[in-house]
Chain A
Amino acid sequence: MASAANQAPAKASLFYDPKVRGIFFQAILVLVIGFLFYEAITNAVSNLRAAGIASGFGFLTNPAGFDINQQLIPYSSSGSTYREAFVVGLLNTLLVAVIGIFFATILGFIVGIARLSTNWIVAKVSMVYVEIVRNLPLLLQLFFWYNAVLAPLPSPRQSINFGAGFYLNNRGLSLPKPILNDTAWLIPFAFLAGIVLTLLFRAWARRVQEATGRQYPVGLVGLGAILGLPIVIWLVLAAIGGTNPITFDIPEQQRFNLRGGMQVFPEFVALLLGLVTYTAGFIAEVVRAGILAVSRGQTEASYALGLKPSHTLRLVIVPQAMRVIIPPLTSQYLNLTKNSSLAVAIGYPDLVQVFMGTVLNQTGQAVEVVAITMAVYLTISLITSAIMNIYNRRVAIVER
Chain B
Amino acid sequence: MNAATETLHFVRNEQVEAAPPPRLVRGPLAWMRENLFSSIPNALLTLATIYLLYVIVPPVLRFFILDAVWVGVDRDACRAETVGRPVGACWAFVADKINYFIYGSYPIPERWRVDVFFVLLAIGVAWMLWLNAPRRGLGAIYFFVVLPILSVLLLAGFKPLSLPPVQTSLWGGVLVTIVVSAVGIVFSLPFGVLLALGRRSKLPIVRLFSVVFIEFVRGVPLITVLFMANTMLPLFLSEGVTIDRLMRPLVGVALFASAYMAEVVRGGLQAMPKGQYEGAMALGLSYPRMMYFIILPQALRIVIPGIVNTFIGLFKDTTLVAIVGIFDLIRTIEASRVDPNWATPTTSLTGYAFAAVFYFLCCWGMSRYSLGVERRLAAGQKR
A122 touches B49 (CB 8 A): yes
Chain A residues packing against B (C-beta within 8 Å): 22, 25-26, 29-30, 33, 39-40, 43-44, 46-48, 50, 117-122, 125, 131-132, 134-140, 143-144, 147-148, 151-152, 338-339, 341-342, 344-345, 352, 356, 360, 366-367, 370, 373-374, 377-378, 381-382
Q: B343 interface residue, CB < 8 Å from A?
A: no
A271, chain B: closest CB distance, angstroms:
13
Classify the interface of chain A: helix, strand, loop or mixed: helix
Classify the interface of chain B: helix, strand, loop or mixed: helix
Q: B144 interface residue, CB < 8 Å from A?
A: no
Q: B167 interface residue, CB < 8 Å from A?
A: no
Contacts of B36 in A (CB 8 A): 119-121
B45 touches A366 (CB 8 A): no
| A377-B224 CB under 8 A given contacts A22-B203, A29-B205 | yes
Q: B301 interface residue, CB < 8 Å from A?
A: no
Of the listed stretches B102-110, B127-135, B356-364, chain A binds B356-364
B218 touches A381 (CB 8 A): yes
Contacts of B322 in A (CB 8 A): 139, 345
| A148-B330 CB under 8 A given contacts A131-B364, A136-B356, A137-B319 | no
Contacts of B38 in A (CB 8 A): 118-119
B50 touches A121 (CB 8 A): yes
| Contact of A378 (CB < 8 Å), options: B220, B237, B367 | B220
Q: Which residue of B lies closest to A44 (CB)?
A: B235
Contacts of B352 in A (CB 8 A): 140, 143-144, 147-148
A117, chain B: closest CB distance, angstroms:
8
Chain B residues packing against A (C-beta within 8 Å): 35-36, 38, 42, 45-46, 49-50, 52-53, 202-206, 209, 215-216, 218-224, 227-228, 231-232, 234-239, 312, 316-317, 319-320, 322-323, 330, 334, 337, 345, 348-349, 352, 355-356, 359-360, 363-364, 367
A148 touches B224 (CB 8 A): no
Contacts of B312 in A (CB 8 A): 135
Contacts of A48 in B (CB 8 A): 235
Give 7 pairs: A residue, B residue, CB < 8 Å, sorted on A. Answer: A29-B205, A119-B49, A125-B52, A135-B360, A135-B364, A136-B316, A377-B219
| A147-B348 CB under 8 A given contacts A26-B206, A137-B359 | yes
Top 3 A-B pairs, shortest CB-CB distance: A120-B35, A40-B236, A366-B231
Q: Which residue of B lies closest to A338 (CB)?
A: B221
**Complex-state Cα separation, A131 to B367, whole angstroms:** 10
| A136-B231 CB under 8 A given contacts A43-B237, A43-B239, A378-B220 | no
B45 touches A119 (CB 8 A): yes
Contacts of B216 in A (CB 8 A): 374, 378
